[in-house]
Chain A
Amino acid sequence: DAGVIQSPRHEVTEMGQEVTLRCKPISGHDYLFWYRQTMMRGLELLIYFNNNVPIDDSGMPEDRFSAKMPNASFSTLKIQPSEPRDSAVYFCASSLNTGELFFGEGSRLTVL
């Protein structure tokens, strides 16, 4: 398996634009997590899915953020409208049951 695949690796956009980040988990994994990492706050859990169902989205900062998992092999994290304070590295991770975490390489977002 190729591991967890995220795209894009880098995104630079202007304030107010919509941003969509994508994640393909490892085949067979039933948990998918979206995290955000900043210098100030470290790694923060935004939302996680179990069997494609969102379980806890209490970490999603505000209504501008939304996440979907239409099937077991694909998830998106959308920010609309984006703001400069959303600049961060967004990681997706997957696991089987609640076992070892496998992280994607991250999507570095810069909002100007």
Chain B
Amino acid sequence: KNEVEQSPQNLTAQEGEFITINCSYSVGISALHWLQQHPGGGIVSLFMLSSGKKKHGRLIATINIQEKHSSLHITASHPRDSAVYICASHMNRDDKIIFGKGTRLHILP
């Protein structure tokens, strides 16, 4: 059974700080998603990656397939980055997606 674990569960930081959110999964996957959910509920896909690293603006996502681990980094964090960040793994053997519980990020001005 695939389990997806995220850490930390909650993170409060000052504006400008470098943020790292971690995600570990237990079985082989075909891809990993990072999602963002703002208060008010809409969910937006940030990245989908199966190897290496992707960058979009101040956001960077990395994945290490051997270690079954992914990280989401935010550089020069801003209060508008405050949201819940959810990691989700796309399993190899079927098309199921398993979600982590999310990391609640709060950036203070």
Taking Cβ atoms with an 8 Å cutoff, the residues of A that contact B are 31, 33, 42-45, 48, 50, 55-56, 89, 91, 93, 98-103, 105-106, 108
Interface size on B, residues (CB 8 A): 22
Chain A residues, CB < 8 A from B43? 91, 93, 103, 106
Chain A residues, CB < 8 A from B95? 31, 48, 50, 55-56, 98
Chain A residues, CB < 8 A from B102? 42-43
A selection of 11 A-B contacts at a CB cut-off of 8 Å is A33-B97, A43-B88, A45-B98, A48-B96, A55-B95, A56-B96, A89-B41, A93-B43, A100-B33, A105-B42, A106-B41
Known: A89-B41, A103-B42. A43 touches B99 (CB 8 A): yes
Interchain CB contact (< 8 A) of A99 among B35, B42, B44, B48: B48
The CA-CA distance from A33 to B90 in the complex, in Å, is 13
Question: Is the C-beta of B45 less than 8 angstroms from some C-beta in chain A?
Answer: yes
Chain A residues, CB < 8 A from B96? 45, 48, 56
In the assembled complex, how far is the CB of residue A77 from the closest CB belonging to chain B, in whole angstroms? Answer: 17
Question: Is the C-beta of B30 less than 8 angstroms from some C-beta in chain A?
Answer: yes
A89: nearest chain-B partner, CB-CB: B41
